[in-house]
Amino acid sequence: MSAGGGRRLIALMRKESAQMLRDPSTFLIALALPLVLLFLFGYGVSLDATSVRIGLAQESTAPPAASLAASFLASPFFRVTTGHDRRELEPELVGGRIKALIVIPDVFAERIARPGGIPEIQLITDGAEPNTASLVRNYVQGVLANWQRQQPGAVAPAITVETRFWFNPELKSRNFLVPGTIAIVMTLIGTLLTALVIAREWERGTMEALLATPVSAFEILAGKLIPYFLLGLASMAVATALAVWLFGVPLRGSFFALTVLTAAFLCPALGQGLLISAVAKNQFVASQIALLAGFMPAFLLSGFIFEIDSMPPAIRAISAVLPARYFIASLQSVFLAGDLWGPMLQDIGILLLLGAVFLGLAMRATRKRL
Amino acid sequence: MTNAASPEVLARVTGLVKRFGKTAPPALDRVSASIFGGKITGLVGPDGAGKTTLMRLLAGLLLPEEGAIEVLGHDLKRSPTAVQALIGYMPQRFGLYEDLTVAENLDLYAELRGLPRARRAEVYAELLHFTDLGRFTTRLAGQLSGGMKQKLGLACALLQTPRLLLLDEPSVGVDPVSRRELWRMVQALTGQGIGVVWSTAYLDEAEKCDEVHLLNEGKLLFSGKPAELAERVAGRVFLLDGVGGRRRSTLAQILAAPELLDGVVQGSALRLVYRASQDGGGTPTPPPAAGPSARLRPVAPRLEDGFIDLLGGALRTGSALADSLHPLPAQSHPVIEAIGLTKRFGDFTAAEDMRFSIPRGEIFGLLGPNGAGKSTTFKMLCGLLKPSAGEGRVAGFDLLHAGPQARGRLGYMAQKFSLYGDLSARQNLEFFAGVYGLGGGERRARVEEMIAIFDLAAVADQTAKLLPLGFKQRLALACAVMHRPEALFLDEPTSGVDPLTRREFWGHINGLVEMGVTILVTTHFMDEAEYCDRIALIYRGRRIAMGSPEELKRRVAAAERPDPTLEDAFIGLIEASDAERGAA
């Protein structure tokens, strides 16, 4: 780049920053939106199944039945509606007001009393919500196992499983949702905002005026990239501060690792934004493409909410080229585990590679022609 | 290199062909032309003629499919950046950053064009003085008026004194006062040897250029001095006086005569162009249909007359539209009335105490600079905007309290093509028929009638946005009149349209007026204003003058300007209003 090129680049960056400072929509996307998303995922959304509403039909009044019922009532995982006949509670399940129905039949006590008799209870769950259904099943089994152990004459099982949840011992979904939200915010700034601001230049005819000056395509792209790269880092800092101080998410890794990761992720995110705006030259189309190709996949297919391992192979293949996937995995490490440079460097390498591909395509698409 | 006899050639294009899409007709078809230093060269033609494409090719923003472009000694295909450092380019809408201030815009372009820092202060001072923007350096470009934006765009293009200055339709959306000012500024530049290319759809503007290249549908029709083109029809142009109140019906009748090339309404007279006759010269006798008191007097030919001659003359179609209507009965009360219409936005009064009434069968024009309040008045009268005070009435219905009834009596045609581009012509007609409450058999009949009247049968099932401009215009008019409105509102209906399409359009309008339809038109396009019976001149939210085109012209007639044009009248009256304001 010539000396004139340096001057032009600085002038373009200064212009971009002045516009950023004056444009309320930049602030909405870069600062207000992260806040809203963090609040939404920090407070509003919880994937933990605590106090699931269930029904308990205690058709037997014998003492063993009563003590089992008491165990369910004492469980923190359930809010129990009790009854004495399953027919009273079935409408509640059909109406979706309870998620499961446990039936302790009237033959329950008799069977226990009979030597070698195996008592039975029935669990009916709402198969329309399979995740909740299987959670409830596991909890019910847990309660049952606990109860059995406390019965007089219970034989200790040969093997007992002691479960520990590493990295997120309280199993708080907030702890992994908040780091994921930071990735979503970075996608919004990198891809959506960048695509919009360049499309706006085409729409308002300022791109035409820029292109008719001696400025090069590289300078135009760099003049956009650098300011939004810095804006992305600033927004990351704000979001991290909120995550740690407001939501109490642990930051077990270093701030340095977080910055390096974010910087690596911004390359493909910005590259995607530039590519979109080079193809779609109006803001409406650019925002639609950015939402469909950037935001939605980052939201749904990156492992942010749905686990990648449980996706069908075709979808898993798509998620393999999603920058957000690698970012989210490493972000969760930094927040919940610490600086695991081994796997993180691998993710950073993939992010930089994806970034090079997107930026290369964007350069090709942004020739100095209309 | 430069000498007085042959000015320096700054740019030369040879055999240029530019296509957008394989099947579309070429945007430029084998165009060869030269641009000279120290002159204003006009790229002239209607919308879609290829002006902007040629401009962008000259700025190195597009590559041609065929042909060569040489600018300032460089092959533009090979070294666009070298050329871009030497030219100034102002795109349409001026290429300004609206959220940056005047000074920030200048700074940006100064750096991009590599203006040495040491020279900045001096160059800025000079340009700000030149454009008279010195007081506004801290104002956001988006808050400047159209004329000021245009000057700032020009200043940005002039930062590193270019040798070639390309201005793409600099006068669009700019009122005649600002337009005249810009023209003076550009003329001063040519004095320094700069070559200026000025593209325009206004033929009166093209007339003032030193050289013109006239484009139509991608083809170069004429290159040379504007006077040479006008010269083609010298001695064949006449003004027909003394037809007074019957000028529209007279025009419709006499246009059928084979010896006539062209005829338009000009104020109370008719401007006629005759075909080249064998006997060669002399004033012909007035057409018999014009009546006994009609007189022909020769007038100077204009560029537009030459253009029409090149295109082979105006189409001789009467208005089938008018024939389909029954004349509306005469009535004493006015069809459109503005009774003290006022609109305030906060502290700002956009329109103040507008009063006029338009009788049946009149064409009434609202004329004024951008932002003067003519659109505001117009919108209040067609029920799109609620007045702060006063009342607007259409066909006797108050727009505020009987809006639906009033709107059912009026037709509206917006400035730019405002139909559904993705629907076919027929679907657009059917939609508007539905909107106006026509149903069943009547709807089908009316749609077919419109297709027949406007000759849309061949294109009825094509996508509207892909239609040629002339057809779009017809379709828009068809949609606006299919419910047979008593009043028709037109917002700059023919700006940027080629002269033949414009004549056809006004032919229909004249026909409608003859049948008793009342027309309200807003424009700052002088050719359109000439068709009006009366004009209200609006400036700074107030009506500063009202009268027939002749009356307005007479008010500014002076010894040094005995025969002013309507544009002269427009500018003169506005300047007088400014002077009065200054004195008060």
Tell me the CATH number at B133.
Answer: 3.40.50.300
**pLDDT over threshold 70, residue B6:** no
- Asked if the structure places residue B444 within a domain, the reply is no
pLDDT at residue B226, rounded to an integer: 92
Interchain proximity B87–A212, CB inside 8 Å: yes
pLDDT digits (tens, 9 = 90+) for B442-494: 899 889 988 988 888 888 898 888 887 778 888 999 999 888 899 999 988 87
Residues 6+ apart with CB under 8 A from B240: B250, B269, B270, B271, B272, B286, B287, B290, B294, B295, B296
- Asked if the structure places residue A161 within a domain, the reply is no
State mean pLDDT over B92-109: 91
Q: Are both B45 and B137 inside the same structural domain?
A: yes
Walk across the sheet containing B487-491 and list its strands: B410-413, B487-491, B518-523, B363-367, B534-539, B542-547
Rounded CA-CA distance A224/A198 in Å is 8
Of the candidates A7, A206, A368, which has its C-beta nearest B97's C-beta?
A: A206
Band of residue B124 on the pLDDT scale cut at 50, 70, 90: very high
Of the candidates A18, A210, A369, which has its C-beta nearest B104's C-beta?
A: A18
Interchain proximity A18–B95, CB inside 8 Å: no
Rounded CA-CA distance B485/B507 in Å is 18
pLDDT at residue B354, rounded to an integer: 92
Residues 6+ apart with CB under 8 A from B228: none
Number of domains observed in the structure of chain A: 2
Rounded CA-CA distance B426/B462 in Å is 8
Interchain proximity B97–A12, CB inside 8 Å: no
Tell me, rounded to whole angstroms, the distance of Cα A186 from its chain centroid. Answer: 13
What is the CATH number for B312? 3.30.70
Q: Are both B357 and B374 inside the same structural domain?
A: yes
Q: Which two tokens stand for residue B575?
A: 């300047």
- Asked if the structure places residue A155 within a domain, the reply is no
Q: How many CA atoms lie within 13 A of A307 on its CB side?
A: 5
A39-48, B139-148, B424-433, B569-578: segment of lowest average pLDDT: A39-48
Number of domains observed in the structure of chain B: 3
Of the candidates B56, B87, B97, which has its C-beta nearest A15's C-beta?
A: B97
Rounded CA-CA distance A219/A12 in Å is 8
Enclosing H/E stretch for B14: strand B9-18
Q: Are both B196 and B246 inside the same structural domain?
A: no
A206-210, B219-223, B279-283, B395-399: segment of lowest average pLDDT: B279-283
Task: State the smallest CA–CA distance between residue A27 and chain B in angstroms.
Answer: 15
**SS percent in chain B: helix, strand, coil, step 5:** 40, 25, 35
Q: Are both A224 and A301 inside the same structural domain?
A: yes
CB atoms within 10 A of CB A71: 14
State mean pLDDT over B534-560: 89
pLDDT at residue B417, rounded to an integer: 65
Rounded CA-CA distance A133/A102 in Å is 12
- Higher per-residue confidence, A130 vs B557: B557
Q: Which two tokens stand for residue B264?
A: 């338009």
- Asked if the structure places residue A163 within a domain, the reply is no
Three-state secondary-structure class, residue B569: helix
Helix axes B247-254, B499-514, angle to 10 degrees: 120
- Asked if the structure places residue B415 within a domain, the reply is no
- Asked if the structure places residue A165 within a domain, the reply is no
- Asked if the structure places residue B445 within a domain, the reply is no
Domain finish residue from B176, B202, B227? B227
Q: Measured between beta carbons, which residues in chain A are less than 8 angstroms from residue B100?
A: 15, 18-19, 22
Q: Measured between beta carbons, which residues in chain B are less than 8 angstroms from residue A15?
A: 97, 100, 104, 108
- Asked if the structure places residue B200 within a domain, the reply is yes
pLDDT at residue A154, rounded to an integer: 63
**pLDDT over threshold 50, residue B1:** no
Q: Are both B64 and B170 inside the same structural domain?
A: yes
Q: Are both A83 and A31 inside the same structural domain?
A: no
Rounded CA-CA distance B302/A144 in Å is 101
Q: Are both A57 and A40 inside the same structural domain?
A: no
Q: Are both A140 and A178 inside the same structural domain?
A: no
Residue of A nearest to B95 (CA): A206
Band of residue B212 on the pLDDT scale cut at 50, 70, 90: very high
Residue of B nearest to A11 (CA): B108
pLDDT at residue B24, rounded to an integer: 77
Q: Which two tokens stand for residue B294?
A: 């009609």
Domain finish residue from B252, B281, B316? B316
Q: Are both A194 and A69 inside the same structural domain?
A: no
Q: Are both B154 and B223 inside the same structural domain?
A: yes
Enclosing H/E stretch for A101: strand A100-104
Q: What is the DSSP string of A15-44?
A: HHHHHHHH-HHHHIIIIIHHHHHHHIIIII
Q: Are both A113 and A31 inside the same structural domain?
A: no
Name the one residue in this structure whose structure tokens are 């380019």: B89
Q: Are both A92 and A137 inside the same structural domain?
A: yes
**pLDDT over threshold 80, residue B3:** no
Q: Are both B219 and B243 inside the same structural domain?
A: no
Let me know: does B475 contact B428? Beta carbons within 8 Å. Answer: yes
Q: Are both B131 and B164 inside the same structural domain?
A: yes
Let me know: does B358 contact B378? Beta carbons within 8 Å. Answer: no
Q: Are both A62 and A29 inside the same structural domain?
A: no
Q: Are both B132 and B217 inside the same structural domain?
A: yes
Residues 6+ apart with CB under 8 A from B292: none
Maximum Cα–Cα distance across chain A: 96
Q: For chain A, what is the mean pLDDT?
A: 84
Q: Are both B506 and B397 inside the same structural domain?
A: yes
Rounded CA-CA distance B35/A307 in Å is 66
Residue of B nearest to A21 (CA): B99
The domain containing residue B200 runs over which residues?
A: 9-227
Interchain proximity B80–A368, CB inside 8 Å: yes
Residue of B nearest to A213 (CA): B84
Q: Are both B105 and B17 inside the same structural domain?
A: yes
Q: Are both A89 and A16 inside the same structural domain?
A: no
Rounded CA-CA distance B161/B185 in Å is 14
Name the one residue in this structure whose structure tokens are 């000056």: A213
Q: What is the DSSP string of B229-278?
A: HHHTTTT-EEEEES-GGGHHHHHHHHTTSTTEEEEEEETTEEEEEEPPPS
Top mean-pLDDT range of A105-109, B210-214, B319-323: B210-214
Q: Are both A272 and A216 inside the same structural domain?
A: yes
Q: Are both B163 and B298 inside the same structural domain?
A: no
Q: Measured between beta carbons, which residues in chain B are less than 8 angstroms from residue A9?
A: none
Of the candidates B63, B87, B108, which has its C-beta nearest A11's C-beta?
A: B108
Band of residue B582 on the pLDDT scale cut at 50, 70, 90: confident
Q: Are both B307 and B238 inside the same structural domain?
A: yes
Domain finish residue from B227, B248, B279? B227
pLDDT tens series, chain A, 370 aa: 456 778 899 999 999 999 888 888 777 877 788 888 888 877 766 666 667 888 888 888 888 888 888 888 888 778 888 888 888 888 888 888 888 888 888 888 788 777 777 778 888 888 777 777 877 888 888 888 888 877 776 666 667 666 666 666 665 677 778 888 888 888 888 888 888 888 888 888 898 888 888 888 888 889 989 999 999 998 888 888 888 888 888 888 899 999 999 999 999 999 999 899 888 888 899 999 998 988 888 888 888 877 788 888 888 888 888 899 999 889 888 988 888 888 889 999 999 999 999 999 988 887 666 6
pLDDT at residue A136, rounded to an integer: 82
Q: pTM of the full predicted structure? A: 0.79
Q: ipTM, 2 decimals?
A: 0.75
- Asked if the structure places residue A288 within a domain, the reply is yes
Let me know: does B263 contact B270? Beta carbons within 8 Å. Answer: yes
- Higher per-residue confidence, B572 vs A151: B572
Domain finish residue from A118, A150, A182? A150
Residue of A nearest to B63 (CA): A369
Rounded CA-CA distance B222/B205 in Å is 16
Closest alpha carbon to B307 in B506, B40, B45: B45
Interchain proximity B112–A205, CB inside 8 Å: no
Q: Are both A57 and A41 inside the same structural domain?
A: no
Q: Are both A107 and A88 inside the same structural domain?
A: yes
Mutate to test the interface with B, among A26, A213, A216 (most CBs of B within 10 A): A213
Domain finish residue from A150, A185, A203? A150
- Using beta carbons and an 8 Å cutoff, which residues of A are at the interface with B? 4, 7-8, 10-12, 14-15, 18-19, 22-23, 204-206, 208-216, 368-370
**pLDDT over threshold 70, residue B317:** no
Interchain proximity B99–A208, CB inside 8 Å: no
% residues pLDDT > 70 (chain B) = 96
Q: Measured between beta carbons, which residues in chain A are less than 8 angstroms from residue B94?
A: 205, 209
Rounded CA-CA distance A40/A50 in Å is 19
Cα four-point dihedral sign B572, B574, B577, B581: negative
Enclosing H/E stretch for B469: helix B469-481
Task: State the smallest CA–CA distance between residue A277 and chain B in angstroms.
Answer: 18
The domain containing residue A89 runs over which residues?
A: 52-150
- Asked if the structure places residue B308 within a domain, the reply is yes
Task: State the smallest CA–CA distance between residue A24 and chain B in angstroms.
Answer: 11
Rounded CA-CA distance A302/A325 in Å is 4
- Asked if the structure places residue B262 within a domain, the reply is yes
Rounded CA-CA distance B533/B364 in Å is 6
Closest alpha carbon to B146 in B434, B319, B375, B389: B375
* Backbone φ and ψ of A87, nearest 5°: -65, -25
Interchain proximity B111–A23, CB inside 8 Å: no
Q: Across chain A, how many H-helices and E-strands are there?
A: 17, 4
